[in-house]
Amino acid sequence: MSDLAHTACEPCRGGMPPMSSEQFTPLLDQLHADWSVVDDHHLVRSWPLPDFASALALGNQIGALAEAASHHPDLHLSWGEVRVELWTHKINGLHLADFVLAAQIDELAI
């Protein structure tokens, strides 16, 4: 999809403002079209899946990727769906690391 997926996910150290819409819009354009930014605060994407086992498998893949990156999204798992909500808690908003992890998740879920 984009070079974002191959960028090192540098964790935010805090003490900086969240990204503005002018800053994050070009990054959002590099992600799968199903990602959206809610309230200029967090990224969201859902995957419809055929059953619970498939949803659980995708959730586990995303969880393993997030753990390796030390960047942990909120994962919502239900029968036939996984939803990811992603933002940087230290700044209570969006950071480059959120878009990098989203791009890496896109590669998992293709």
Q: Is residue 13 part of a domain?
A: no
CATH code of 36's domain: 3.30.1360.20
- 53-101 pLDDT, tens digit per residue, is 999 999 999 999 999 988 999 999 999 999 999 999 889 999 999 999 9
Range of the domain at 87: 19-108
- 13-64 pLDDT, tens digit per residue, is 667 899 999 999 999 999 999 999 999 999 999 999 999 999 999 999 999 9
Place of tokens 């819009």: 25
In angstroms, rounded to a whole number, what is the distance separating the alpha carbons of residues 38 and 73?
14
Q: Is residue 36 part of a domain?
A: yes
Q: Is residue 66 part of a domain?
A: yes
Q: Is residue 45 part of a domain?
A: yes
Q: Is residue 33 part of a domain?
A: yes
- H-state helical runs in the chain: 21-28, 52-69, 96-108
Q: Is residue 35 part of a domain?
A: yes
pTM exceeds 0.75, yes or no: yes
2, amino acid identity: S
